[in-house]
């Protein structure tokens, strides 16, 4: 009974946090892109536009849900639900920290630990292409159909180099469980170099990490690989005929896919929740970060540039100081520090996704496919072969 209660609590906490992140990820993206392009971004709904995600959700929820003529009604409704469900399913196997004890109950900071966690995520995400392909076909629209076909071809093509990039560190970590992968990346070489797979002997997976990230851009249909949504060619691609909450489902699935691939990268290549510096220095990093945030907030509050800045920035500063203080509480310290490092790595990778969107142009479709088959796939294969050879030589197997 205790196990069921604890599992339900973990599911509620993880899903509430994950859905909040998905809602505000689009706000962060719009803000970052506005700064890159010298614009202001959302700022009218709530202080600094913080209520914009809520306004967008209400707008889409209350908007009329149009059903185009001659669509396959069952598949038309099913497609966005499939896309969202399969994206959310992957979160269940991601570990956010080590095993902890709360009120005498020991539990893992993870909904469930599968010994084949990476295979489960790959299987779920590979099936996710059906949500887009079926939606494009069921819409009875040529633009949507072309977007769905492009997405299917693109995802299938880039799954091969992504799979090869994932297999290489698995040879070094010798496990398919995410928790065991992270545990095998614990510690430091020479006392200060993290034993993450991007740094780990016998073959640091820097190339594998770069290959994985490039393939992840294509898997999530993000610029410069957003051909399924190319508005200058396909109006909006596979979701052209969708409106209201069905469109929101596809929108949410895209950001959920982004978060999923970033979580995998953090767990597989960047040591998961293990810090960049050895303790006790690593324990001070979150405190310093929040104190700096508080100082900047108070500084801007004293020099307001907008109407409510003298109120909103001090509030942010107080919240940042409270968060910094929580890291000094012994009971919370062991929980918050691993979560901080894991979320910092995922957040940095998400920022890279947004940064690339604001700086790179879209590929042509022939360039997209040629790059996958004539460059990325051979490089990923060579990386795997070299890694396998060096692992065999060093381990003697």
Angle among Cα 14, 329, 276 to the nearest 5 degrees reads 70
Tokens, residue 43: 């700022």
- Cis, bond preceding 223 (omega within 30 deg of 0): no
Can you give the C-alpha Rg of the chain in angstroms? Answer: 22
Stretch (H or E) spanning 100 = strand 99-102
Q: Are 169 and 162 in contact (CB under 8 A)?
A: no
- Which of 180, 210, 205 minimizes the C-alpha distance to 194? 205
Note down pLDDT in tens along the chain; length 397 residues: 677 787 788 888 888 888 888 888 989 999 999 988 888 888 888 888 888 888 888 888 888 878 887 888 888 888 888 888 888 888 888 998 888 777 777 788 888 888 888 889 888 888 878 888 888 888 888 888 888 888 888 888 888 899 999 999 998 888 888 999 999 898 888 878 898 999 887 778 898 999 999 999 988 888 888 877 776 677 777 878 888 888 888 888 888 889 999 999 999 999 889 998 887 888 889 999 999 999 999 988 888 877 788 888 889 899 999 999 998 888 888 888 999 999 999 999 999 999 998 888 888 888 888 998 999 999 999 999 998 888 888 876 5
The residues with which 193 forms a beta bridge, in sequence order, are 189
What is the value of pTM for the model shown?
Answer: 0.91
Q: Is 25 helix (H, G, I), strand (E, B) or coil?
A: helix
């Amino acid at each position: 009974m205790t196990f069921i209660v604890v599992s339900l609590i973990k599911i509620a906490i993880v899903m509430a946090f994950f859905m909040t992140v998905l809602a505000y990820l689009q706000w962060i993206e719009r803000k970052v892109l506005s700064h890159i392009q010298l614009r202001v971004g959302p700022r009218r709904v709530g202080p600094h536009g913080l209520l914009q995600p809520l306004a967008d959700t209400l707008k889409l929820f209350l908007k009329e849900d149009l059903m185009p003529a001659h669509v396959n009604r069952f598949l038309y409704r099913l497609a966005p639900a499939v896309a969202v469900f399969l994206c959310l399913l992957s979160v269940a196997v991601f570990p956010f920290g080590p095993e902890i004890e709360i009120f005498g109950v020991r539990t893992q900071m993870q909904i469930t630990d599968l010994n084949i966690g990476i295979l489960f995520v790959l299987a779920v995400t590979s099936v996710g292409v059906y949500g887009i392909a079926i939606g494009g076909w069921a819409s009875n629209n040529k633009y949507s159909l072309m977007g769905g076909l492009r997405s299917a071809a693109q995802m299938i093509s880039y799954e091969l180099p992504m799979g090869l990039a994932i297999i290489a560190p698995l040879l070094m970590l010798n496990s398919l469980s995410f928790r065991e992968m992270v545990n095998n990346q614990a510690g430091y070489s020479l006392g200060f170099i993290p034993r993450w797979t991007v740094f780990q002997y016998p073959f640091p997976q820097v190339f594998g990490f770069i290959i994985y990230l490039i393939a992840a851009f294509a898997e999530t249909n993000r610029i410069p690989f957003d051909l399924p949504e190319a508005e200058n060619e396909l109006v909006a691609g596979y979701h052209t005929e969708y409106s209201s909450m069905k469109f929101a489902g596809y929108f949410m699935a895209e950001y959920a896919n982004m978060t999923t691939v970033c979580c995998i990268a953090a767990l597989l290549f960047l040591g998961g929740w293990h810090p960049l510096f050895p303790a006790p220095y690593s324990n001070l990093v979150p405190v310093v970060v929040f104190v700096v945030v508080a100082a900047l907030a108070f500084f801007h509050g004293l020099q307001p540039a907008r109407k409510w800045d003298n109120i909103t920035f001090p509030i942010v500063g107080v919240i940042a100081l409270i968060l910094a203080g929580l890291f000094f509480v012994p009971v919370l310290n062991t929980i918050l520090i691993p979560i901080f490092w894991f979320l910092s790595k995922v957040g940095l990778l998400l920022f890279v996704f947004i940064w690339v969107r604001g700086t790179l142009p879209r590929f042509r479709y022939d360039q997209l496919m040629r790059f996958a088959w004539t460059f990325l796939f051979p490089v990923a294969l060579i990386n795997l072969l070299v890694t396998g050879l060096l692992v065999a030589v060093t381990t003697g197997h």
